[in-house]
Amino acid sequence: MAKPRYVFFFVAVLTLLVVAGCWFTTEPNQVAKPTFNLPGGTYECGLRISIVCATPEVTIFYTMDGSEPNLASLIYTEPVNIFQTTTFKAKAYKNGMQGSNTAKITYIISSLPVPENFTDVQK
C-alpha cells in the first residue's frame, strides 16, 4: 500500500499538470478537411463530383488542375461534371477559424476507344 504522503504528492502533481494544460492550446481552431462524394480511381464515363465539409457554414475553394486552392480559386456552389481525367484539390475556410488542410483526389476517366472502322449512324 502506498504511503499517504506519496499519494498526496502524486495527486498534487497531477492536478498541477491538468491546470497548467488549460493555459496552453494544443491545436488551433481549424476547419475540417473537405471530402468528395466518390472515391478517387478509374471510371469509364463522366462523373458528377460533390464536395462537402463537416464544418458548417464554410466556403470551399477548389481547383481542377492539381494546383493548390486559395481565396482566388473557384468557389464550390454545386456539383461539378467531369468527362476527362481530373485532379481536384479543395480547401475550406470560415471566418474566425484556420483554413482546412487541402483535400486532393484524382479521377481517371478511361472511356473505351472508338474502333477505327466505327460508323456513326444517326436516325
Strand (E) positions, 1-123?
A: 35-36, 41-43, 47-49, 51-52, 59-63, 74-75, 80-82, 86-93, 103-109
Q: Is residue 49 situated within a structural domain?
A: yes
The structure's pTM equals 0.69
In a domain, 17, yes or no: no
Task: Give the single-character DSSP code of 100.
Answer: P
Does any domain span residue 29? no
Per-residue pLDDT of the chain (123 residues), as tens digits, is: 555 565 555 444 444 443 343 333 335 699 999 999 999 999 999 999 999 999 999 999 999 998 999 999 999 999 999 999 999 999 999 999 999 999 999 999 997 666 677 666 655
Residue 91's CB is within 10 A of a number of other CB atoms, namely: 25
Helix (H) or strand (E) holding 13: helix 4-21
CATH number at residue 75: 2.60.40
